[in-house]
Amino acid sequence: MASTPVIEVSDLRKSYGGRPAVDRVSFTVEEGEIFGVLGPNGAGKTTTVECVEGLRVPDAGRVRVTGLDPVTEHAATRRVLGAQLQESELQAKLTVREALELYAAFYTRPLDWRPLAERLGLTDKLTTRFAKLSGGQKQRLFIALALIGNPRIVVLDELTTGLDPRARRDTWELIEDIRANGVTVLLVTHFMEEAQRLCDRIAVIDKGRVAALDTPAGLIRRSAGATVISFTPSTRLDDSDLNALPALASVEYKDGRVTLSGTDETVNAVITLLARTHVTAHQLRVTDATLDDAFLDLTKDATDDTTKDGANGDTDDATKEAAA
């Protein structure tokens, strides 16, 4: 993988109504990688990527896309960057074919939209009007529109929301194909499985700041309980024995089953404890922690805010601007 950053974000700050949505966010994206952005609702993910796309003007900090300022050099940035926004709309009576042909006309060297439509399962919907498409079909159309300009970089914000499991996995394969063809991908997602499978590196944004930046495996290793042990004991174990286990991160009881989070050292100690107390562990399972576990550890103090990143409807305004 090349070492030249194609996206540089340094000390980025953006506030709405005096409330910071993005506070000193910094990261770089290398050419040819899939870079993920994770975070709770309202954490600042969408505001961050909209600054990269040039849809928002930062209050402070520096953003560069292939060396271009996405605000002052917006037209040039659009020639190298394609974007699928979190929410978008098209004219209700526009057909899929008309949308693809229209967007292709915006670029000097667009991709052939026909194989792209086929790859995304849109071929049999070419004469269907936008208003008649299902949510998943609209999502696939917007992915196609983001790619039709043959960009060096594509930003995908919640790209598989609304897709069924099969369509989601097909889309993952498409994203892997896109990267294999040399396109850099900036991916915003809520799906941990998606991020773990696709991303080379991930920035976890919480409360407007980068809480962690690492590979998926590196983030998982940071989890307080990198290994999970679960079993149903033949007799209830003493709480003091369990709490005394080395490297124990957490213990949970549910329906007679014990679930422990810890490390390999914890696993060995559990086995020793079971043997010493003559307790049989039924349905014993030992699994590695997942990106879900790491994410929850990194954002455990985040409040459950279901509003979008842009306060007071700012995200919707930017979306309308981009779709216009």
Which CATH number does the domain housing residue 241 bear?
3.30.70.980
> 171 and 209: one domain?
yes
Say which range, 86-90, 176-180, 271-275, has the weakest mean pLDDT.
86-90
Domain boundary among 183, 214, 245: 214
For residue range 279-312, what is the model confidence (pLDDT) as tens digits?
999 999 998 777 887 887 788 765 444 344 444 3
Highest-scoring range by mean pLDDT, 17-31, 167-181, 225-239: 17-31
Which has the closest alpha carbon to 50: 310, 323, 312? Answer: 310
pTM: predicted TM-score of the whole model, two decimal places: 0.76
User: What mean pLDDT comes out for the span 115-136?
Assistant: 91
**C-alpha 235: how far from chain center:** 42
- CA neighbours closer than 13 Å in the CB half-sphere of residue 261: 16
User: What mean pLDDT comes out for the span 266-277?
Assistant: 94
d(CA 48, CA 128): 34
Q: Is 67 within a domain?
A: yes
> 129 and 258: one domain?
no
Residue 171 has pLDDT above 90, yes or no: no
Q: Is 309 within a domain?
A: no
Query: What pLDDT, on the 0 to 100 scale, is given for residue 319?
Result: 39
Q: Is 307 within a domain?
A: no
Range of the domain at 42: 7-214
User: What mean pLDDT comes out for the span 38-48?
Assistant: 90
Q: Could you tell me what percent of the chain has a pLDDT over 70?
A: 91
User: What mean pLDDT comes out for the span 256-260?
Assistant: 93
pLDDT, averaged across the chain: 86
> 138 and 239: one domain?
no
Domain boundary among 195, 214, 233: 214
Residue 57 has pLDDT above 90, yes or no: yes
For residue range 156-169, what is the model confidence (pLDDT) as tens digits?
988 777 778 887 88
Residue 39 has pLDDT above 80, yes or no: yes
> 209 and 263: one domain?
no
Residue 215 has pLDDT above 90, yes or no: yes
H-assigned helices in the chain: 45-53, 74-80, 96-104, 113-119, 135-147, 165-180, 192-198, 216-222, 239-243, 264-277, 291-298, 314-323
User: What mean pLDDT comes out for the span 66-85?
Assistant: 92
Which has the closest alpha carbon to 172: 307, 34, 305, 19? Answer: 34
Domain boundary among 214, 238, 256: 214
> 36 and 107: one domain?
yes
Say which range, 75-79, 82-86, 127-131, 194-198, has the weakest mean pLDDT.
82-86
Domain count, the chain: 2
